[in-house]
Amino acid sequence: MKFEDYPIADAIKKNLAAAGYKRPTDIQFKAIPSILKGEDVLAVAQTGTGKTAAFAIPIIDRIHRSKRSLPGLQCIVMVPTRELAGQIGTVFNTLCHHTRVNPFAIYGGVDQDRQIARLKDGIDILVATPGRMFDLISQGAITVSLVNTLVLDEADRMLDQGFIKDIQSIKKKLPQRHQTLFFSATIDREIKKLAFSQVKTTAIRIQISPDSPVSKNVTHWMVEMEMDDKRFFLRRFIRDHETARIMVFVRTKVRAERVAKALERGHIPSATIHGDKDQADRNMVMARFKAGEERILIATDVSARGIDIPDLDFVINYDLPENPENYVHRVGRTGRGTRKGQAFSFCSPEEKPLLDQIQALIKEEIVIQPVTREEYTDILLDPRDTDSLRSMILTHEAEEKKHKKSRRKSKKS
């Protein structure tokens, strides 16, 4: 079945065609009819399978058809991160083109006044992080009395991070009869119970989950090394793939900046994105990376979920995540849709227990990329790295030669 055969507005079909959507993915095929009928849905599917379009298409169609008789905010999409809010907002803008539907994304870290001014113009779909949304509701800038659909994207994180009270709070403000949609790439038993408590007993449960929660388009590799040697291996990897676009995940904000400085010492430019950067910088960095103006992006898990980066060649887990589910979201940045991708993990001896947890979750043994003792030594002694032993020795020898030459000239004079 093609999108052109769906009972949705012609304008949406044109937008889908222009954006390159031809046939629905599995999650879209199973979710769209139920959402069009107004049913509650709890959907779990791998990263990169088109979950956003799965709920965006039917929501836009329904609002487009009812706009004249029911003006005002009709749908709220709650997400856990600012980056995800911006990206989902972009998807809605693309699919709402030429329709009567006005979407808008709000999140913290940017000026409220502009957001309030845009809200006053009238919107139909609000994509929001909880903090900024509740702030603007309390100020009277957002009215939810007409909202008939609530979507939680990355629902496992929304529920796991204690947003359940926020979810319950917003549901109390909505009309008694409203539709609730939960979408996620990963969800455990406890979180699933919590999600079921927030939907109707007749909710449709959709699980597109083969043996592994990770897309089959992603190939997994692992290299064993000492923790202190990771910077040398990263520089060598980047040099060996000089045209590739690479996203490097680290555990903390401090580590992100340290890794960037380590690359700089090897004369390799990179950009960083993490929670300590203000939102304008984060938006700019992500825009430059998506546009190909930056080739290497170092990120914490703030950017591990939902972000769609065209043609990302490699994901490198510089640090293995402490939560194995974050591995799924990290490597899901590559191998999206029908594209192939590769994920490399740098594993130190102390990270082996984390590796075991990851392999148990994805139900796959990650292939070890062998490195001989000679290759390992060669990587550590790369003269292009100012902090390598070989570079230090060469620098010292050069300075000694310069000093001896200077002394000989001094004696002659």
Q: Do the domains spanning 3-208 and 218-380 agree at the CATH topology level?
A: yes
Average pLDDT over residues 283-306: 88
Q: Is the pLDDT of residue 383 over 90?
A: no
Query: What b-and-e string marks burial along 2-20, b requiring 16 or more CB atoms within 10 Å of the CB?
Result: ebeebebbebbbebbeeee
Average pLDDT over all residues of the chain: 88
CB 334 within 8 A of CB 216: no
Give CA–CA dist 200/133, Å, rounded: 24
* Separation CA 163–CA 182 (nearest Å): 13
Residue 44 is inside which H or E element, if any? strand 41-45
pTM for the complete prediction?
Answer: 0.74
Please say whether the structural domain 218-380 has been given the CATH code 3.40.50.300: yes
Residue-wise pLDDT for 22-49, tens only, equals 899 999 999 999 999 999 999 988 777 8
pLDDT of residue 212: 64
172 C-beta neighbours (distance < 10 Å), count: 8
Three-state SS string over 234-271 comes to: HHHHHHHCCCCCEEEECCCHHHHHHHHHHHHHCCCCCE
> Is pLDDT above 70 for 289?
yes
- CA dihedral of 202, 171, 186, 200, whole degrees rounded to 10: -10
- Say what the pLDDT of residue 386 is: 75
The two structure tokens encoding residue 205:
């449960």
Q: What are phi and psi of 272, to 5 degrees?
A: -125, 150
Q: What are the backbone dihedrals phi and psi of residue 105, each rounded to the nearest 5 degrees, phi first?
A: -110, 135
Cα–Cα distance for residue pair 389/395, rounded to 1 Å: 10
Return the percentage of the chain with pLDDT > 90, whole number.
Answer: 56
CATH number of this structure's domain 3-208, picked from the four choices 3.30.360.10, 3.40.50.1820, 3.40.50.300, 3.40.50.1220: 3.40.50.300
Q: What is the pLDDT of residue 61?
A: 96
Q: What is the pLDDT of residue 46?
A: 77
Contact 313, 342 (CB under 8 A): yes
- Of 121, 125, 166, nearest to 144 by C-alpha is 125
pLDDT at 351 exceeding the cut of 80: yes
Contact of 115 with 106, CB cutoff 8 Å? yes
Q: How far is CA 76 from CA 104, 134, 153, 230, 253, in A?
A: 10, 12, 11, 43, 31
Q: Tens digit of pLDDT for each residue in 326-340? A: 898 899 889 887 788
Do 311 and 339 meet the contact criterion of CB atoms below 8 Å apart?
yes
Strand, coil or helix: what is 198?
A: coil
Distances, alpha carbon 34 to alpha carbons 27, 59, 60, 122, in Å: 11, 11, 14, 28
> Where along the chain do its domains lie?
3-208, 218-380
Q: Give CA–CA dist 152/127, Å, rounded.
A: 10
In angstroms, what is the C-alpha Rg of the chain? 25
Give pairs for 120-123: CB < 8 Å, separation 24+: 122/71, 122/72, 123/73
Pull the structure tokens for residue 328: 């799924």
105: left (phi over 0), alpha (psi -120 to 50) or beta: beta
**Higher-pLDDT residue of 198, 233:** 233
Confidence of residue 400 (pLDDT cuts 50, 70, 90): low
Indicate left, alpha or beta for 195 from its phi (over 0: left) and psi (-120 to 50: alpha).
alpha
Query: What mean pLDDT is predicted for residues 311-325?
Result: 93
The reported pLDDT for the residue numbered 391 is 60
Range of weakest confidence among 148-152, 154-158, 166-170, 288-292? 154-158
Lowest mean pLDDT among 81-95, 153-167, 379-393, 399-413: 399-413
Highest mean pLDDT among 72-76, 323-327, 338-342: 72-76
Q: Give the HSE-up count for residue 334: Cα atoms under 13 Å, Cβ half-sphere.
A: 23
Is the pLDDT at 228 greater than 80? The verdict is yes
